[in-house]
Structure formats: C-alpha cells, structure tokens
Amino acid sequence: MIYSVKATCAARALFSLLVFFIVTSYNIEARSGAPRWWSLAMVPPDGVLNVKSITCNSIPGLVPKQHRYCSRKIELMPSIARGIKLGIDQCKYQLKNRRWNCSTLPLRRSRPNRKKGVFGPVLETASPEAAFVHSIAAAGVAHAVARACAEGSLTSCGCDKRSRVEKGNWRWRGCNEDVEFGIKVSREFADARDQGNDGRAIMNRHNNEAGRMVLRDKMQLKCKCHGLSGSCELRTCWWALPDFNEVGKKLKRMYLDASEMKVKHHQEARGIVASLVPKFQEFPPPQETDLVFFNKSLNFCNKNPRLGIEGTKGRLCNATSSGVDGCDLLCCGRGYNTAQKTRIESCRCVFEWCCDVECEQCVTPYEEHTCK
Ligand SMILES: *[C@@H]1O[C@H](CO)[C@@H](O)[C@H](O)[C@H]1NC(C)=O
Ligand SMILES: *[C@@H]1O[C@H](CO)[C@@H](O)[C@H](O)[C@H]1NC(C)=O
Ligand SMILES: *[C@@H]1O[C@H](CO)[C@@H](O)[C@H](O)[C@H]1NC(C)=O
C-alpha cells in the first residue's frame, strides 16, 4: 500500500518534471530574443551557402512550421541564409562606432555557436537593439530572395510581371526585381516563430514588418535610354531593389528614434492576450513604420558575461569627436589610453614621363586611442 503510493508519487513527480522540461524548452525557443536559426548565416569566410550545404535537420531552432517550409522549399533556403547574413553584416556596419556594435559570437571551428544563437543572450531583452536587428534581418531575407529570383536561379520565382505598365515612350523590358515575393517569403519563414500573443512576439512581428516596408519603399525605378545618339526616344525601365546600405541607413535612423511601448494584458475569449501601447501617453502612437521596443537598452559599457556583453574596454575611439564614436561617450567616462603608432604610406610622389608615378615610402606617426 505505502509502496504503491510512493510509486505513484514518483511517477507524478517524473511526469511533472517532463512537462516542465517540455514547456520550458518550448518557451526558450519561442521567447528568446534572436532566433537560433539565424546561425544559418554564419559561414566561415571561405564557406558557401548553397542547397548542398544546407539540410533542414541541421538548422538549429526551427519551429515545426519552419521545418515544413524548409522541406518543401529547400531551394529558397540558401537565399534566406544569405539574407540573414546581409542583415547582420549591415547591422555591424551601421553600428560599428556604437557601444553595442552588433557583435556576434565567434564561429567555433566550422560550426556556428548553435546553442546560444548568433548573438548570445543580448537580444533576449526587448530593447531597441533587438528591434533593429529583427527589422534588418527580415528586410535582408526579402532582399536576398528577390535578388535570387531576378537572377533566374530559382524555379519558384522570377521577374515580377505585375507592374509592367507601358506609358508614353516607356517600355518595361527589364526584369522587375520581385520584392513582393521576397516579402512573402520573409513573412512566412522569418515570422513563423513569433506567432504567439505575448508582448515579445508582437514586437518581433511588428519590427520585422517595419523592416520589410522600408525595403519596399526604397524600390527604385531604373531606366536605360535608347534612340539616336542618346536622345532617349525610347526608355527601358524596371523596378530594382535598393542598395542594401540605403535600407540599413534608414533603419538605423528608425532605431535611434524607436518608440518605447509597454505591454498591456487583457482577457479575451481565447485567453489572456497582450498588446503594446505607448509608454508615454503624450507621444502619438507609433506608425506601422516605426520600430518598437519595451525594455530599455542594456548597459553596454561594462563587461557582463551573463548577458553576453563585452563592454567597451579596449575599443578604438576618436579623441576629437563629440559623437558616439568619441572617447567620452564610447568609453563611458572611464577615460582612454593613447598609443603612439606609425604606418607606412606612399609619399613625395613624382610623375615620370610617361606614364609612371614614383613614390617614396614614408613612416607617418599617428596616435591610437583605446578605452580604459
Ligand atoms: C522587460 O519589460 C517587461 C514588460 O514591461 C518586464 O516584465 C521585464 O521585466 C523587462 N525585462 C527586463 C530585462 O528589463
Ligand atoms: C565590436 O565590439 C567588440 C566588443 O566590444 C570588439 O571586440 C570589436 O573589435 C568591435 N568591432 C569593431 C568592428 O569595432
Ligand atoms: C574623429 O572625429 C573628428 C570630428 O568628428 C573627425 O573630423 C575625424 O575624421 C575623426 N577621425 C577618425 C580617424 O575617424
């Protein structure tokens, strides 16, 4: 009797433990900041992203919907991976002089850091940084997919034929890069993990969409002239994707201007549902095209291994700048070290008839400042 009661208790305990693990591991994937599948983009410099190098089972952190998508549309996966890389590289470029410079974890051997994701725990906080990275990654996926379509390397898409209107002496002969198809793929794949009704899922979906809308907005009409000696009697025009730097520049401005929200819970028939409302009532509610966040930025000044923050110690800074790249701000008031360095430059160049330029090599001194 006693024995059987004990056994039931043990079984119950085991069962609850199991449920606990399933629930928490699900939550970790569903809630954590940066999706682990982004590690798809982290190939070593000599690595390649093609259908042969990607298998759906080897991508970490896919939710079932993404796994099915991957199996059905494997030919899109290399472009999705390239899109994430495009986004992350652009993030690094845009934030290179800031306290948080979009740093990613080092590649371990040839495998990316699969457990912690590309960024580590930094983006688990619903911060402006998380908003920026999500928006730029979602835009990157749409861009890379649309580009691959126009290059003719995919069977499921090509040039966009919808916007081929002929007007006056215009001819739509070029290949319209199909941004709508890219946007659709980005929505279906990149948003799949964030289908929940918690604040973070809503935030991620919103920022992903804001990134894609910037890309759509920046599509440009390109034309080529034909006709006698460049008279432009006839023009061939097509819609072209913007240079991704343009998208990055705009998203960075939106990041610096992102709207702070708070999470509000209310009861609905389907259960407790969250929504994001402006934290400060005196500000107008954000537009669809604004980035939103609900946790302040972390303190990126000091090293914090638990949060995966490197701190700014040792970063190069500009002693004469009063901006974010200046030593005052970047070093968070700790001061900086100055090292005397030299570099070899070409100098005293003379033009030799004809047609050579002869230079001397000069040793030029300069100062290098790093944060204490
Ligand atoms: C982020 O904001 C949410 C909602 O306001 C809050 O519950 C949570 O504690 C915050 N997290 C951090 C790390 O500040
Ligand atoms: C970015 O920041 C990290 C950590 O602070 C630093 O190690 C790295 O050199 C920085 N990268 C660039 C490009 O400045
Ligand atoms: C440092 O900042 C000053 C002032 O903003 C700028 O003129 C200069 O080019 C910067 N130096 C470097 C090395 O970026």
Query: Do 192 and 295 lie in a common domain?
Result: yes
- Which residue's CA lies nearest to atom 8 of ligand 1? 295
Confidence category of residue 325, pLDDT binned at 50, 70, 90? very high
Å from CA of 341 to ligand 2 middle: 20
The rounded mean pLDDT for the chain is: 85
Same domain for 196 and 79, yes or no, is yes
Residues 223 and 343 in one domain: no
Closest residue to atom 12 of ligand 2, CA basis: 96
Tell whether 224 and 343 lie within a shared domain. no
In a domain, 22, yes or no: no
List ligand 3's pocket residues with C-beta within 6 A: 318, 320-321
Q: What pLDDT was estimated at residue 26?
A: 42
Atom nearest to 100 CA in ligand 2? 2
Q: Which CB contacts under 8 angstroms, 24+ apart, belong to 155-161?
A: 155/75, 156/73, 156/75, 156/76, 157/181, 160/239
Q: How confident is the model at residue 285 (pLDDT cuts 50, 70, 90)?
A: confident
SS3 for 83? helix
Centroid of ligand 1 to alpha carbon of 198 (angstroms): 12
> What's the mean pLDDT in 154-167?
76
Indicate whether 94 belongs to any domain: yes
Residues 129 and 166 in one domain: yes
Read off the tokens for 261. 């929200």
* pLDDT score of 137 more than 70: yes
Among candidates 23, 30, 26, which has minimal Cα distance to 195? 30
What pLDDT score was predicted for residue 234?
A: 76
Are residue 320 and residue 302 in the same domain, yes or no? Answer: no
How far is the centre of ligand 3, averaged over its atoms, from the C-alpha of 316 (Å)? 12
List the single range of 174-188, 321-335, 348-362 with lowest mean pLDDT: 348-362
Please compute the mean of the pLDDT values over residues 176-191 and round it to a whole number: 95
Do 176 and 257 sit in the same domain of this protein? yes
Domain that holds residue 358: 313-372
Give the closest residue (by CA) to ligand 3 atom 3: 321
Residues 6+ positions from 295 with CB-CB distance below 8 Å: 125, 126, 127
Q: Closest ligand 2 atom, CA of 316?
A: 14
Concatenated DSSP letters of 274-291 = EEEEESSTTSPPPPTTS-
29: confidence class by pLDDT, cuts 50, 70, 90: very low
pLDDT band at 2 (very low <50, low <70, confident <90, very high): very low
Q: What is the pTM of this model?
A: 0.85
Does residue 212 contact residue 219 with C-beta atoms inside 8 Å? no
The reported pLDDT for the residue numbered 163 is: 63
Mean pLDDT of 343-362: 89
Cα(101) to ligand 2 centroid in Å equals 6
**pLDDT computed for residue 199 by the predictor:** 92
Sorting pLDDT into bands at 50, 70 and 90, what band is 30? very low
Question: What's the pLDDT at 11?
Answer: 53
Considering every ligand atom shown, identify the ligand nearest to the alpha carbon of residue 96 and give its number: 2
Tell which wins on pLDDT, 371 or 105. 371
Q: Which atom of ligand 3 is nearest to the CA of 323?
A: 5
Q: Which ligand is nearest to the CA of 276?
A: 1
Upstream peptide bond of 355 is cis (omega within 30 degrees of 0): yes
Task: Give 359 Cα–ligand 3 centroid separation in angstroms.
Answer: 27
**Residue 57: inside a domain, yes or no?**
yes
In a domain, 354, yes or no: yes
Flag whether pLDDT at 230 surpasses 60: yes
What would the mean pLDDT of 152-173 be, rounded to a whole number? Answer: 73
Domain stop point among 260, 295, 311: 311
**How many structural domains compose the chain?**
2
18 within a domain of the structure (yes/no): no
pLDDT of residue 212: 97
DSSP letter, residue 163: T
Name the band, by pLDDT with cuts 50, 70 and 90, for residue 31: low
Which listed ligand is nearest to 311 at the C-alpha? 2
Nearest to 32 by CA among 112, 115, 105: 115
pLDDT of 190 over the 80 cut: yes
Q: What is the domain-level CATH number for residue 330?
A: 3.30.2460.20
Is position 13 within any domain?
A: no
